Structure formats: structure tokens, C-alpha cells
Amino acid sequence: MKTTSFVPAALAAFVLSTGAALAADPALFADNAVVQTVTTQLEAQGFVIVDVQRTLLGRYKIEALSADGTQRELVISANNEVLRDQIDQVAVQGYDDDVAGDDMENGDDNEVDDDNEADDDNEDNGNDNESGSDNESDDA
């Protein structure tokens, strides 16, 4: 009987099921005042809380997203110290970043070349072979 392989498998299953249960119920984080304060502040700044998780090391990981595509990730230690506050810009459909030279006018990011320059990938430069007209044969 191999009990040595059963014990690690049972332990791994327990840890995974406990982690999934913790991630599924945000009410379990209600006892941590720092996490509540941080999530309230993020919501006041216009962020939507996407996920709050408790890691195996006892840390809290908070992920939030704003309407303009700003993604924020905070990691709070078991001692209630902010270990990481990372801000990233992610692509959100319908959001115009107004970057100079991006071939987009203000307010539209529909991948249409607005400046009529030949530097856009969607520009038709006369060498378009999509219609198949160069490969057609006459059957007459």
C-alpha cells in the first residue's frame, strides 16, 4: 500500500479547495479593515473591484479596473502593509488614447486610417490581392 503518494495528493486537494473557497466569497475579507478601506478608496476613485484574493502566504491581492482602461493591482501583506501598488494601462474597446501618430482622430479607435497616409496597415496601396482578380482564368 502506497500511503506516501496519497498524503501529498490529499494535502494538495485540500489546499486547492480551500483557496477556491476563499477566492469565491468576498465576505471572508470583511474582517480586514485595511482591505475594506483600500477597496472603498478605489471605488471612490472610479475603479470597479474585479477580484480580491487571499494568497497562501496570507497576503491580500486586490485587482481593480477603471472605465478608461487603467488596471490597478495591490498586494497587502498579512501585517497590513501595501507591498505592491501596480498601475497598468489596458486596452478597452471604445477608449481613444489619443497617441500622436496613431492614425486615429480624437474619439475613434476603429482602426480606420483617418489621416490618409500610407503608414497604416489597413491602407490600400494598389497591391491588394484579396479579390483574386490576378489569379482568374478565362474559360471562353
Q: 30-88 pLDDT, tens per residue?
A: 678 889 999 999 999 999 999 999 999 999 999 999 988 899 999 999 899 999 999 99
What is the distance in angstroms between the CA of the first residue and the CA of the last residue of the chain? Answer: 81
Of 66 and 116, more confident: 66
Please tell me the predicted confidence (pLDDT) of residue 45: 93
Specify which residues 70 forms β-bridges with: 89
| pLDDT of 4 higher than 70 | no
Cell (9 digits) for 49: 473591484
Q: Give the span between the Cα atoms of 60 and 74, in whole angstroms.
A: 8
CATH class assigned to 33-96:
alpha beta
The highest-confidence range among 4-8, 52-56, 109-113, 115-119, by mean pLDDT, is 52-56
| pLDDT of 133 higher than 60 | no
As a whole number, the mean pLDDT across the chain is 68
Average pLDDT over residues 17-26: 46
Distances (CA, A) of 21 to 14, 25, 79: 11, 7, 22
Q: What angle do CA 54, 22, 49 make, to 5 degrees?
A: 65
Place of cell 476563499: 22
